[in-house]
Amino acid sequence: MFFAGKINSQVKFRRNMAKKLHGMHIKYAEERFPDQDDVIIGREGALLVRGKEFMIFSSQHDVFRSKTDETDFSELMSLGGAIITGFDLLSGKERTIIVHYTDRP
């Protein structure tokens, strides 16, 4: 029997990835645009989870904020960064951000 409160595996994965990335120190963040080169949007900062939101704080301001349960996360093969795709609550549009980080909080 299915329950309305049951968390599906995709949402569970997203929450676990957000938790894993929380507190990671960012070297730099770049935005990926279709049919263009990636553009650096910030240097130095952190990946944060606050309540139900995932945030990228870089260059002393928020550059990306989305709902954790609706955000796609994938780590780079080098494990030195992540690709984060979701609806940005700040800009009001779907964005793909690539962050390169160190493992220190």
Q: What is the CATH number of the domain that holds 25?
A: 2.30.29
Decide if 4 is inside a domain.
Answer: no
Is the Cβ–Cβ distance between 79 and 92 less than 8 Å?
Answer: no
Domain count, the chain: 1
Stretch 78-98: mean pLDDT: 95
Instruction: Quickly list DSSP for 90-103.
Output: TTTEEEEEEEEEES
Indicate whether 88 belongs to any domain.
yes
Asked whether residue 3 is assigned to any structural domain, the reply reads: no
Interior CA angle at 40 toward 87 and 45, to 5°?
75
Whole-number pLDDT of residue 9: 86
pLDDT at 104: 54
pTM of the full predicted structure?
Answer: 0.87
Alpha carbon distance, N-terminus to C-terminus of the chain: 41
pLDDT tens for each residue of 12-70: 999 999 999 999 999 999 999 988 899 999 999 999 999 999 999 998 899 999 999 99
Residue 25 to residue 28: CA distance in whole angstroms: 9
Which residues form the domain of 22? 10-102
**What pLDDT digit, counting tens, does each position of 28-44 carry?**
999 999 888 999 999 99
